[in-house]
Chain A
Amino acid sequence: MTEQELIAGCRANDRRAQRAVYERYAPLMGAIARRYCRRDADADDVLVSAFYRVFDKIDSFSENGSFEGWIRRIVVNESLMLLRKKHALKQAAELTEVDPGSFSIPAAAAEKLAERDILDLLDAMPVGYRTVFNLYVIEGYKHREIADLLKISINTSKSQLILAKRRLREQLEKLGYAR
């Protein structure tokens, strides 16, 4: 089935098409949800509610955009909703003075990282750091967009990112990757 056929099937509420969409995108979307949620059970909850929303709101999907990108945005939003529900996204302090040297990480460190290491590094961060890091570094959102999504100031978003990177550098040094 092509993507267009799958979308048409979902619009017709065809269960086989919906299942095919789920099986095609669930591994990727499950990994995204897991990057935001530390617990596997929470990531599964996010996946279930996100795919239900995908099939429920399929009529609002515009054919011009990327279907995968649309589902990804829904998964990210559902992840943020779950974190908000658990009061995990609390207002964080802003940094006034920033030393760029304290959080820059050698590019070579990333080349050695395995997928499991990335998950462990993200899990070791506080929720606020991890969320901003995910949104900025991995999803590619801008600080203004992150501020809108998380209802924080742009400076708070920047501060959270710097603190996340500082924590990441410390972790990488402990693991021997940042040398």
Chain B
Amino acid sequence: MSSQDSFERKFRHTARGMRRRPAPRNWDRIESHLDRRDRGSAYFGIRPWMIAAIVLILAGYAVVANLPSQSGPDPLAQRAQSVEELDVLTVPPVSRIPDYQPLSDDRADGFLVSRSETRSRLAVSPKYRL
């Protein structure tokens, strides 16, 4: 208790004896607060802070799960991929030259093709022959 002079003691005594009639609606307001609290705890004991905590946990999980995609592909993986692509683009596809098969002289269509004519299959059409 603080040290007080006689004025303070008397002032304190009078002040502490004061009473004030509360407004009639005050109890209704208190009761509605209590009802709201009871309703809030009635849902399986779930409180607003619990909901907030669950939302935070889910949000944190979502952020962590999305981290790799947000940071982009691994540069090493990208390089390997581009080298493969480079190979595909720069090296022409291997086209095999078909084996040469000489035409025979006695073909059914009557074309006369020399055996020595190895580079071309062109032949004079019969109507232009002399």
Q: Which A residues form the contact surface with B (CB < 8 A)? A: 13, 15, 18-19, 22-23, 26-28, 30-31, 33-35, 40, 43-44, 47-48, 51-52, 55-56, 104-107, 109-111, 113, 115, 118-119, 136-138, 140-143
Cα distance A107–B31 in the bound complex, in angstroms: 44
Give the total number of A-B pairs whose CB atoms are below 8 A apart: 94
Q: Please indicate the chain B residues that have their CB under 8 angstroms from the CB of A34 in the complex.
A: 20
Q: Please indicate the chain A residues that have their CB under 8 angstroms from the CB of B5 in the complex.
A: 104, 107
Q: Please indicate the chain B residues that have their CB under 8 angstroms from the CB of A13 in the complex.
A: 34, 38
With A26-B22, A52-B33, A138-B11 given, name 12 new contacts (CB 8 A). Answer: A19-B27, A19-B31, A27-B20, A30-B19, A40-B23, A47-B22, A56-B34, A104-B5, A107-B6, A113-B14, A115-B18, A137-B11
The answer on a CB contact under 8 Å between B19 and A107 is: no
Given the known inter-chain contacts A18-B34, A110-B11, please indicate yes or no for A44 contacting B2, CB distance below 8 A: no
Q: Which B residues form the contact surface with A (CB < 8 A)? A: 1-2, 4-12, 14-23, 26-27, 29-31, 33-34, 37-38
Q: Which residue of A lies closest to B25 (CB)?
A: A44
A143 to chain B, nearest CB (A): 8
The answer on a CB contact under 8 Å between B14 and A110 is: yes
Q: Which residue of B lies closest to A119 (CB)?
A: B18
Given the known inter-chain contacts A27-B22, A119-B18, please indicate yes or no for A107 contacting B7, CB distance below 8 A: yes
The answer on a CB contact under 8 Å between B22 and A15 is: no
Cα distance A43–B22 in the bound complex, in angstroms: 9
B64 to chain A, nearest CB (A): 36
Q: Can you pick out 20 interface pairs between chain A and chain B where the beta carbons lie within 8 Å of each other?
A: A13-B38, A15-B31, A19-B27, A22-B30, A23-B27, A27-B20, A30-B20, A30-B21, A31-B18, A43-B20, A44-B26, A48-B33, A52-B33, A55-B30, A105-B7, A107-B7, A113-B11, A115-B15, A118-B15, A138-B11
Q: Please indicate the chain B residues that have their CB under 8 angstroms from the CB of A113 in the complex.
A: 10-11, 14
Cα distance A27–B14 in the bound complex, in angstroms: 15
Q: Please indicate the chain B residues that have their CB under 8 angstroms from the CB of A23 in the complex.
A: 27
The answer on a CB contact under 8 Å between B26 and A47 is: yes
The answer on a CB contact under 8 Å between B29 and A138 is: no
Q: Please indicate the chain A residues that have their CB under 8 angstroms from the CB of B17 in the complex.
A: 115
B4 to chain A, nearest CB (A): 7
The answer on a CB contact under 8 Å between B27 and A115 is: no
The answer on a CB contact under 8 Å between B20 and A31 is: yes
A2 to chain B, nearest CB (A): 21
B1 to chain A, nearest CB (A): 5
Q: Please indicate the chain A residues that have their CB under 8 angstroms from the CB of B2 in the complex.
A: 136-137, 140-143
Q: Please indicate the chain A residues that have their CB under 8 angstroms from the CB of B20 in the complex.
A: 27, 30-31, 33-34, 43
